[in-house]
């Protein structure tokens, strides 16, 4: 495909659909007809000391969400087993905050060890913030094979999103996890007010880091957050972003995560068809689709997943 990412961002509606077949072929060439599904657990919610303007869990947010400390080992284990037993390929433990305590890390590690003992083929992920080398090594030895930490947006735009955390620290965490030997999942959230150049800058950083999986999130403006009135996305704009990233990363796992239902609407199938992974179930503070609907969407597209017959 000769189009650049910049070209795709400028395409008219009819031109977006005209390149769908070419973008779909990139997906088929890389991952075939398989769609890897992943699910997350909001294992610790709210009261984050950071000030990310899009996040309902930030200390600055006035959003009406549930807040609670780290769940018990049983709660985390049961949540993981519930999703894995339905055929979800990956399960991830997510904690609010910049960095968990040693006790919290150990509890998650203990749960991971138990899951791997009972389900040896389970694929486990963690998204716990900015961890040091010692904590990352411990989690890896516990059975977690992938670490997730988003850059969120470009280095240039990040100061407009958060003043508590530094973009360089996020980059360093991803690099450290990669160096230790984790499969790394890192991407961003779109629709914050960033420019096309910011998106290109983010993609260049992800390419430098040689990440294994790129999660694409699209802003769901939550009442009570600083970005509750940000409304920069349309279904077509989201498609342009996804198509552009697909051609920029033809040999990297691209997965669609938060905000897909809200932002893609009736165009969701065009997006799912060209990626390699899909987050299913609920998100951190918002509801997602029921599993059987996503299983049907994947089947209707002529694609396959590990999801069991949930009808």
Domain ranges (residues) in the chain: 5-300
Residue 134 confidence (pLDDT): 96
310 pLDDT above the threshold of 80: no
Structure tokens at 147: 């670490």
115 pLDDT above the threshold of 90: yes
Residue 216 confidence (pLDDT): 98
Region 222-233: mean pLDDT is: 95
Residue 311 confidence (pLDDT): 58
pLDDT classification of 4: cutoffs 50, 70, 90: confident
Q: Tell me, what DSSP letter sits at residue 214?
A: E
pLDDT classification of 1: cutoffs 50, 70, 90: low
**Three-state DSSP class for residue 299:** helix
Could you give the CA distance from residue 88 to residue 289 in angstroms, rounded to a whole number?
14
Region 15-27: mean pLDDT is: 97
Could you give the CA distance from residue 281 to residue 261 in angstroms, rounded to a whole number?
12
10 pLDDT above the threshold of 80: yes
Could you give the CA distance from residue 51 to residue 162 in angstroms, rounded to a whole number?
5
251 pLDDT above the threshold of 90: yes
Structure tokens at 237: 């704009």
What CATH superfamily classification does 5-300 receive? Aldolase class I (3.20.20.70)
Region 246-256: mean pLDDT is: 97
Report the candidate in 195, 167, 179, 187 with the shortest Cα–Cα distance to residue 277: 187
**Three-state DSSP class for residue 106:** helix
Region 67-82: mean pLDDT is: 97
Mean of pLDDT over the chain: 96
pTM of the full predicted structure? 0.96
Q: How much is the CA Rg of the chain, to the nearest whole Å? A: 18
The pairing of strands 146-148 and 123-127 is parallel
Measured CA distances, 274 to 91, 199, 203, 233, 283 (Å): 22, 19, 18, 19, 22
pLDDT classification of 309: cutoffs 50, 70, 90: confident
**Three-state DSSP class for residue 179:** helix
CA atoms within 13 A on the CB side of 159: 1
Region 213-239: mean pLDDT is: 96
For 208-220, what is each residue's pLDDT tens digit?
A: 999 999 999 999 9
Residue 3 confidence (pLDDT): 82
30 pLDDT above the threshold of 80: yes
The pairing of strands 213-218 and 253-256 is parallel
């Amino acid at each position: 495909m000769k189009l650049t990412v910049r070209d795709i961002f400028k395409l008219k509606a009819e031109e977006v659909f005209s390149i769908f077949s070419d973008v779909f072929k990139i997906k088929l060439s890389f991952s075939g007809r398989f769609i890897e599904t992943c699910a997350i657990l909001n294992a610790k919610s709210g009261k984050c000391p950071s000030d990310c303007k899009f996040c309902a869990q930030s200390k600055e947010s006035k959003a009406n969400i549930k807040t609670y400390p780290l769940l018990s080992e049983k709660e985390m284990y049961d949540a993981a087993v519930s999703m894995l037993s339905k055929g979800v390929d990956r399960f991830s433990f997510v904690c609010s905050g910049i960095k968990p305590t040693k006790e919290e890390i150990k509890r998650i590690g203990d749960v991971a060890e138990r899951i791997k003992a009972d389900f040896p083929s389970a694929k486990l992920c963690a998204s716990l913030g900015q961890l040091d080398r010692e904590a990352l090594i411990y989690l890896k030895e516990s059975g977690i094979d992938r670490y997730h930490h988003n850059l969120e947006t470009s280095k240039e735009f990040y100061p407009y999103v958060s003043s508590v955390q530094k973009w360089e620290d996020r980059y360093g965490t991803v690099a450290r996890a990669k160096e230790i030997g984790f499969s790394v999942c890192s991407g961003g959230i779109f629709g914050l007010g960033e420019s096309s150049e910011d998106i290109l800058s983010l993609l260049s950083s992800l390419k430098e880091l040689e990440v294994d999986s790129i999660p694409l999130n699209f802003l769901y403006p939550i009442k009570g957050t600083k970005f509750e009135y940000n409304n920069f996305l349309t279904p077509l704009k989201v498609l342009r972003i996804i198509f552009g990233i697909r051609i920029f990363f033809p040999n990297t796992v691209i997965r669609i995560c938060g905000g897909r239902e809200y932002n893609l609407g009736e165009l969701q199938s065009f997006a799912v068809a060209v990626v390699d992974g899909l987050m299913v179930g609920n998100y951190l503070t918002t509801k997602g689709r029921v599993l059987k609907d996503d299983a049907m969407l994947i089947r209707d597209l002529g694609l396959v997943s590990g999801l069991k017959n949930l009808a």
